[in-house]
Each structure stands twice: as structure tokens, then as C-alpha cells.
Amino acid sequence: MHKTPLFNFILFILLLPLFSCRVDKDDKNTLRFPLTESISTIDPVNAYDSVSMSVIYQGYEQLFEYHYLRKPLKLVPLLAEEMPQVSDDGLTYTIKIKEGVQYHDHPAFNGLPRYVEAQDFINQIKRLAFTPYRSNGWWLFDGRVVGLNKFRKEVGSDFEKLLTTNVDGLRALDKRTLQIKLIAPYPQMLNALAMSFTSPIPFEVMKKETFLDELIGTGPYKLDKWFRGSKLFMSRFNNYHKSFYPGKGDRFAHSKNLLTDAGKRVPFIDKIEFHIIKEAQTRWLQFMSGKLDFLRVPKDNYHSLVSPSGELTEEFRDKKITLDIFSSFTYWWFSFNMKDPIVGTNKNLRLAIAHAVNVEKYIKTFTNNIGLKANSIYPPGIPGYDPSRKLPYSYNIEKAKEYLRKAGYPDGKGLPTLIYDTRASSTTQRQRAELLKQDLEAIGIKMKIQLNTFPAFLKKSKEGKLQIWLDGWTLDYPDSENVLQLLTTQNQAPGPNVSNYSNTDFDKKFESIKVMNDSDEKYLLMSQVEDIVLEDLPWVLLYYSRDYIVYHNRLKNFRYNDLVVNKVKYLRLK
């Protein structure tokens, strides 16, 4: 039976009396963290999806992090002792490492404490360059560090050479001083050094290659157990280095009383339980029973939870629940594989699909009109985004049919069945696929839905085996370069350019943009490359996300931000 939103609401009302929001005494300082899909990897060389990174950032740390209570975002030292010294020409970064930062225990350390050294950061950057790992993070340093591409070529797939070969532009001047030499200025360098891809890796562990099942970091939480596809448990690392809750914040932090713990040592929470719950309604019932501490509001529960004025209804306020609305750096689109012999080589076919997609209905159905209709390949909030930009396509059945005729398939005749791969096997992902299928059938295009688990979907995307799919991106840092790298030829699959888009003019302009600081000249180039992308149409843009998140009032210091992923250390449970 198809379960409607009304059915789900009635089910919730009937089951509500059975649930208790109380937390067991023994678990009162355990955070219950919901994950919507299976964890694909905990190796920082490849973790690049929001699910895996929710785990990664609690156990691994980087040289820099984003200030928890500041917006616009500001980078501050984490494993670095201070912000780096940068040469006048912007080519040399010298970074002092904090003293006495200990790794989680590991047999490779022979029972002795192991402290972070400058060489450990070099080890990880070398791992990113090692071709057998097919790292999702290689694009950060490709063509940027002196000697790194030479190292990549010379080492090839030889693991012993990976361990023993040096990189000219990466030097440990002493145990606590890292030096990086660049080929050209790289304005996003510090952002790169705040990403999990650049987490330090001790040589003793690097030799053993056990990162698929182990998490050997310096973070506030260490890995205890991982039941794949079900749960993952972490606990406080007792030897965590001294780190403190921010002493200052922005207007939002003050208005939400988020500075009560200012200056206190973190972390506050003892344990984290990550619960993998793929169905939205199951997550909702688990949240209402007190078995999850926070949750992004499912679309089917929005109207019962949120008043017409956008506030929490009185019924739910009485249950000691808080609703917060957060802007997001996440957005969504339909992707085409530009190497596909059917959709990739026929622009008129892509235009037909673009005009057949009822974006407004999609947004209403899956976000309750919370999502903001996309008007650009850039999301709001990054310098250079143009709110007046208009897309060259919109929902229009007659135009869609006209383009389908131009594509050589009048009313869909002669067109093979297209394959749409889901991002996961959840009910919502199936519904998203069905809505697109209906839109395409309205102009005569047949579409087969291929269900995948999330890890299987990611594997297909890296192997270039998708045809059409729902794609999305959460920015790593607020700069256009982080968007445009998704479309460069050099980043084609297995890199982040999983649409396999390629345009020589785009690539040339991107090379200029990526070394430019914010300026009118940069914004003009951003507009020009966007013109190129919209003309070639590798994406059909959908919407920018906005997050409605609920949490139980026992959870304190909660603030959601896509880019501040290591947030658990700042949270407190009462």
C-alpha cells in the first residue's frame, strides 16, 4: 500500500503515547546522531560525502577549522599553533604545528603515545597523489605543489615508492614546522588545509594500510565499534589536546544564548552513537521517542510541526523541542553523463529533458516549498553569485516536445529507454525518481529506475557508469572555485566531475579564476564560465536547500552549518 503523508501522520499520532522522551540514566551523556545512508568510507583519502564526513570530522583533525560561532565563516588554527606565514609572492606557506597533540592509541605505536609531527601532513598529501587510491581529494593539489605531480607520475602504483619518495615542495623543517611551496598562488590554500583530505597520518600506520576499518586521528572522539549499515560508536578520547569553546560569536550566537560555555574546555559529550536510518518516517518516530537528539524535518511532517508563520506549533513546543531554520551551502540538480552516447552527445535531448522537468512541483513535493528554486550554478552566499541570473530553460511541455523532435526522436519514437540511478534505496529517493519519470513520460521519453544503495551509487559515479541521476553538492568552502572544479576536464570521474563534462574554453577560464582573489574581474569571469556551462547543459538545476532542524531541549549549543562538520565537540547534553 502506498503510504500517504496523511497515513504517516495518523500512524504517528497513534504511536506517540507509546514513546517516552526520557533518556536512560546510563546514556544521558551520549549523543544520538542520525545518518540517512550507509557510511561509504572512513578513510580521509576518499571520504567526500556528507554521511561519511559526519563521522570523519569527529575523529580526524586538520591544521585549520571554521569558527563555530562566526558567520561569515572565519578560519582559525586547529592543529596549527597559529595562522601560517605566507611569503610575499604567495608561493610559500610555513606552518607551526601545536606541541603535544596525541593520536588515538594504535598497535603500531607499541603502547607509546604518538604525537603529531609536520611529516604526518606530508604523508597524507602523498596519499592523495597515489594513483591506486583514486582519491576524491587529489583535485585540491593537482598542479599546485612543486614536485607533487612529478611524484605522482614517478611513484605510479608502487607502494614502497609512496613511502620512500620525497616531494620537492613539501618539507618538514623540523618536527613541528611544515613548509609547502606552490607553483602559483592558491587563494583557497587554507580552505584546503581545513578539509578532512588533509588530516595528518602517522607513517607507522600509513605502512599498514588499515584505513578502511580504522580511524587513527587526533580528534575528540575515537572509534569504538562499527556495524556496517547499522550503527557506529565513538567515545571521548581522554588524551585529547587542550581545545576550548569559542569565547566570541556573531549576532545569532548571542540571540540563541550559545556563549554560555565560552572559554570552557571541550568536548562535553562522552559518547556518540551514529544511527543509520534510511527511511524518513522511521527517523521521525525515533526522534519523537527520544532515541535521536536532532533531526532535519522530514517533508511529510512539516505541516504538523511548523505553523503558517514558520514557527514551531504549540503542540511541539510543549514537548520540549526546538526548531531552528538555517541557510545552507547545499544544492541539487539532475546530472547527465556527458560521455554517454545517448544523452551526452545530443544537446537537444538534454534541452527536452530540461524543459520537461516541473521544478516547482519537485520543490513543493520534496521540500514543502522550503527549497529555493535555483537560478545559477553558484549558490547564494558565495562572492560573485548573481541573484538576477536567469536559466535558459524552464518547465514548458511544448518546448520540451519541440526539442525532442530536434533531437531526432519525435514523441520519443526511436529513443532507447533512459536509465536513472537513485542515490539510495529509500522511499524518498524512489519517489524523486518516479516524479522525474512522470515528467519525461509526458513528452514520450521512457525511463527505467535503477535502485542503488548509497555506497553502490558512489561507486558507479566514480566509475562513470551513470546516465541520468540526482546530483548535489555541499560546498567545502564559500568560493566559486569549489563549484567550478566539479566541471573541469582534469577532474572527470573518478574525480568529482562525475558528469564528465569537458569544455576547453571553460578549463582555460577556470585556471584564471582559481588563482584570483575576490574582485570585479573575477566575478566577470565567473559569469562567463557560467554562460558556457548553461549553454552546454550538463546539469538541470533544481533548488538550493534550506534546513529546518529540530532538536530536544536537552541538547545545548546546537548550531547547524554545512561547513562546520566537527560540531559535536561543542555540543552539551543536559
CA atoms within 13 A on the CB side of 34: 25
Mean pLDDT calculated for residue range 20-33: 71
66-206 belongs to CATH 3.90.76.10: yes
pLDDT of residue 24: 53
pLDDT for residue 9 is more than 80: no
CA atoms within 13 A on the CB side of 331: 22
- pLDDT tens readout for residues 273-311: 999 999 999 999 999 999 999 999 998 888 888 887 778
CA distance 338 to 341: 8
The closest of 450, 488, 493, 445 to 469, measured between CA atoms, is 450
Cis peptide bond prior to 308, omega within 30° of 0: no
Average pLDDT of the chain, as a whole number: 93
Mean pLDDT calculated for residue range 159-163: 97
pTM above 0.85, yes or no: yes
pLDDT band at 25 (very low <50, low <70, confident <90, very high): low
Q: Is 344 helix (H, G, I), strand (E, B) or coil?
A: coil
CA distance 402 to 355: 10
Cα dist from 299 to 302, 314, 425, 428, 470, whole Å? 5, 19, 17, 9, 18
CA distance 33 to 506: 41
CA distance 183 to 169: 9
pLDDT for residue 23 is more than 70: no
pLDDT band at 75 (very low <50, low <70, confident <90, very high): very high
pLDDT of residue 326: 87
Mean pLDDT calculated for residue range 518-536: 97
The closest of 167, 54, 51 to 119, measured between CA atoms, is 167
CATH topology of domain 328-546: Dipeptide-binding Protein; domain 3 (3.10.105)
pLDDT of residue 349: 98
User: What is the share, in percent, of the chain residues with pLDDT greater than 70?
Assistant: 95
DSSP 8-class letter at 516: P
- pLDDT tens readout for residues 188-217: 999 999 999 999 999 999 998 888 889 999
pLDDT of residue 399: 98
Contact call for residues 376 and 321 (beta carbons, < 8 A) = no
- pLDDT tens readout for residues 442-485: 999 999 999 999 999 999 999 999 999 999 999 999 999 999 99
What's at 157, amino acid-wise? S
- pLDDT tens readout for residues 341-368: 999 999 999 999 999 999 999 999 998 8
pLDDT of residue 111: 96
27-41+217-327+551-573 against 66-206: fold identical: no
Give the H/E segment covering residue 483: helix 480-484
CA distance 383 to 519: 9
Quote the crossing angle between the two packed helices 347-356 and 397-406, to the nearest 10°: 170
CA distance 476 to 497: 15
Q: Is 15 helix (H, G, I), strand (E, B) or coil?
A: helix
Q: Strand order of the sheet with strand 231-236?
A: 30-35, 271-276, 231-236, 221-227
CA distance 295 to 36: 10
Sign of CA dihedral 359, 365, 366, 372: positive
Mean pLDDT calculated for residue range 130-158: 96
| Highest CATH level, class, for 27-41+217-327+551-573 | alpha beta
The closest of 492, 517, 563 to 139, measured between CA atoms, is 492
Question: Where along the chain do its domains lie?
Answer: 27-41+217-327+551-573, 66-206, 328-546
CA distance 562 to 326: 9
CA atoms within 13 A on the CB side of 87: 14
pLDDT for residue 512 is more than 60: yes
Mean pLDDT calculated for residue range 136-165: 97
